[in-house]
A and B are shown apart, each in its own frame.
Chain A
């Protein structure tokens, strides 16, 4: 990466499952072992998408017309019967060498535009409270910590639990 600012080129990855897989492998190399690739593809690019993604690309140095992926955001829509549809940001990642160039901001800008365009009243996401840089990044942009402000706690039932409850134990 040279000193000049690379203008990020954001693509909606709907039409390119292969591109999404490529950026995932770069950003989260351990992922192959967690979710079957076929499931990821069907769930994101099949008839009924369970998620959507934005991919950030920068021009490849010295290779005109060629680009490489350097970050992505994965999101989907959730629902609150009091206020309607929400945009939920599940993954948001920019590769280390490409941070501080405005790529993350550009991704957030596009996401906000998508949220507004699709009539979502807000964007939700989770952050680990001890991750100070992330907290600052979002608070600076006007995000509010609902867990602290209103007392919301996230709970989870894992698969084992679910099966146990389903069998009536």
Chain B
């Protein structure tokens, strides 16, 4: 049976988390944004003991990146930005603390939620990622885009600059 711990990340985990994220804004920014005076996000890592290390020798095998959001209706919420477990560590038997592997970070996220009076957890999934959708729905997650029509919009680059100058678009 596989054993592992899920714990908040520390500075020493930065390289591992960057390895798992693969593409990122860069170590300097991640460090400042994650460990600076005013952290922009939190991160949990899943770690296995040395004798169960990955094929290429790593013990940090998963991570969960989250931040707090807010609703004037429901108060504090938690948003799960990234959740990733290395493929060779997915779908194993129940871990030591009784969680189904593949969601090891979620239980620690749960306690963050309880500590911080969060009432719900939100996250996004791409519509073609059937495996992830099935996984989350089997745990009771609701697809708010399908059910209630919520769409994500973004304003960036030139459009953002134009708005900042007071232009109201065509």
Chain A contact residues, CB within 8 Å of chain B: 24, 28, 31, 34-36, 39-40, 43, 50-51, 74, 76-85, 88, 90-91, 105, 108-109, 111-113, 115-116, 121-131, 138, 140-148, 150-166, 168
A88 to B153, CA, bound (A): 10
A145 to B149, CA, bound (A): 12
Is there contact, CB below 8 Å, between A83 and B69?
A: no
Residue B141, interface by CB 8 Å: yes
Residue B13, interface by CB 8 Å: no
A78 to B21, CA, bound (A): 17
Distance in Å from the Cβ of A6 to the closest Cβ of chain B? 17
Residues of B within 8 A of A166 (CB): 107, 110-111, 113-114
Contact flag A79-B110 (CB < 8 Å), given A141-B169, A142-B159, A148-B151: no
Residues of A within 8 A of B23 (CB): 82
Is there contact, CB below 8 Å, between A156 and B145?
A: no
Residues of A within 8 A of B2 (CB): none
Residue B87, interface by CB 8 Å: no
**Can you list 30 contacts pairing A with B, beta carbon distance less than 8 Å?**
A28-B73, A31-B73, A35-B74, A79-B40, A81-B24, A81-B82, A88-B69, A105-B166, A109-B166, A115-B164, A116-B161, A121-B156, A125-B153, A128-B149, A129-B149, A141-B162, A141-B169, A142-B159, A143-B154, A145-B152, A145-B153, A146-B151, A153-B133, A155-B123, A156-B120, A156-B141, A159-B120, A161-B140, A166-B107, A166-B113
A153 to B127, CA, bound (A): 6
A74 to B73, CA, bound (A): 12
Is there contact, CB below 8 Å, between B75 and A35?
A: yes
Contact flag A122-B117 (CB < 8 Å), given A34-B73, A82-B24, A84-B29: no
Residue B7, interface by CB 8 Å: no
Residues of B within 8 A of A35 (CB): 71-75
Residues of B within 8 A of A28 (CB): 72-73
A41 to B165, CA, bound (A): 32
Residues of B within 8 A of A122 (CB): 154-157, 160
A123 to B121, CA, bound (A): 21
Residues of B within 8 A of A126 (CB): 150-153
Contact of B122 among A112, A115, A155 (CB under 8 A): A155
A-B complex: 10 closest residue pairs judged by Cβ atoms: A142-B159, A122-B156, A166-B110, A147-B151, A112-B164, A151-B127, A153-B145, A112-B163, A168-B98, A161-B140
Count chain B CB atoms within 10 A of each CB in A40, A123, A154, A159 and give the residue with the most: A154
